Amino acid sequence: MTSAERTMRALPSARWQRWPGWVARATLLWGVLYAAFGLACALSGTSLLPRGGDSAAAALSWAVVATGTLATTASGAVVRYGLRPALRVLLLVTCGLAGVTAFSLLMDVITLLFGQGVDHPAAAANKALAAVGAGLLAATARSDRAGEATGTTGIGSTGGTAVRAPTAAPRAVQLAAWAGTLAFLPYTAMKLVWASGGTFAGLTGAETLAISERNGASGVFLTLESCGLDPTALLAALGVFLLWGLVRPWGQLFPRPLPFLRSRRVPRWLPLAPALLGAATLAPYGVVGVGYLALAAAGVVTIRPGDFPSSGDALLVGWIGLVAFAVYGLALTVAARSYWLRTRPARRAGVGAE
């Protein structure tokens, strides 16, 4: 590689290393847009709840306005006065509110990929905007620390940084990855039994295909199902690949290392973005779901059979699916945190701003 090629490749990386200088302004813009989105929904009567009464829908719209206003106030103060401890707390609180609002976004993405469309476009748009805002707010809250690590303390200032060499996660994190991988085996086996035409929990493969068609599954989904390939099982395989990409250097995920992965040239944000989205959705969804199933198994609540012949069949399938989501979601959370810490840019000693 020539020096000119190396320089051109380094330019995008250098721009992204200056993100502590502009992220507060991006958060300010997001806050204004998000508050305007909530206000428009509140005044037009557009519901942001897939299910719920008019009062709950109106309350959520005004909560969106409040979240956007808080983000605008906090990020605007950061732009003008710099990041103060009180502003950091306000940013993190607002980040938490946006994160709660973005819950189940991953489910909407999966539905959009394999269905005819999301059930509630306005609610899905709200979750997507909230997810973007949660990322911006979290980045703004730590922009001063990141600026010290990368030598970027303001707009236009740069310093020397070194990319950390790819390393494997600690043994405990790799054990968590194994747990997340093994948790998906019963789920994948169940889905493949149905996709191959077999019977499980009182449902045949033909019946599950008819249920998917009735629920509005896309042609791609139905075609894969008819060919014996369950799309959700394929997504589970991709999720496992992502999980191991977070705990092992990317170049070591293949028997014969690929040249472009050998030195972890994968951008840091590329695996982190889906990992954080998946962890924020699947971990709470699975944990809460497992708690509900435990109450159902104890007879405290009653689980409906739905499309299954009996409540016992529905409970069995629920255990298989929700335990997989809970264990994998927690493993993904642990792996994403480890990857975040292991791939942080390191400040070069003795290198100042140029």
Q: Which residues, at least 6 apart from 309, have a Cβ–Cβ distance to it below 8 Å?
A: 202, 203
Domain boundary among 161, 191, 226: 161
Contact 146, 343 (CB under 8 A): no
Q: Could you tell me the pTM of the whole model?
A: 0.75
- Domain membership flag for residue 213: yes
Within a domain: 349:
no
Same domain membership, residue 71 and residue 139: yes
Same domain, yes or no: 181 and 128: no
Which range is least confidently modeled, 1-10, 173-182, 329-338?
A: 1-10
Q: Would you tell me how many other CB atoms lie within 10 Å of the CB of residue 215? A: 12
* Same domain as 176, residue 122: no
Given a cut of 60, whether residue 153 has pLDDT beyond it is: no
For the chain, what is the domain count? 2
Does a structural domain hold residue 135? yes
- Residue-wise pLDDT tens digits, 83-114: 899 999 999 999 989 988 887 777 777 777 66
Is position 9 within any domain?
A: no
H-state helical runs in 298-342: 311-342
Q: What is the pLDDT of residues 199-256, one digit of tens each?
A: 999 999 889 888 888 877 777 777 777 777 788 888 899 999 999 999 987 645 555 5
State whether 193 and 317 are in the same domain. yes
Decide if 2 is inside a domain.
Answer: no
Q: Residue 112 sits in which domain range?
A: 15-161
Instruction: Specify the pLDDT at position 158.
Output: 44
Token pair 């690929």 is at which residue?
Answer: 258
Neighbours of 306 (CB within 10 A): 11
Checking if the pLDDT of 264 tops 60, the result is: no
112 and 248 in a common domain:
no
pLDDT digits (tens, 9 = 90+) for 75-85: 999 999 998 99
Burial of 112: CB neighbours in 10 Å, binned 0-12, 13-18, 19+: middle
Task: Give yes or no for a contact between 241 and 329, defined as CB atoms under 8 angstroms apart.
Answer: no
pLDDT at 155 over 50: no
Higher pLDDT, 263 or 305: 305
- Looking at the fold, whether 211 and 294 belong to one and the same domain comes out as yes
Q: Mean pLDDT over residues 311-324, rounded?
A: 94
Query: For position 310, what pLDDT does the model report?
Result: 92
At 10, the pLDDT band (50, 70, 90 cuts) reads very low
197 and 332 inside one domain: yes
The per-residue pLDDT for 7 is: 45
Angle, helices 19-44/121-141, rounded to nearest 10 degrees: 150
Q: Is the pLDDT of residue 168 over 60?
A: yes
Q: Is the pLDDT of residue 2 over 60?
A: no
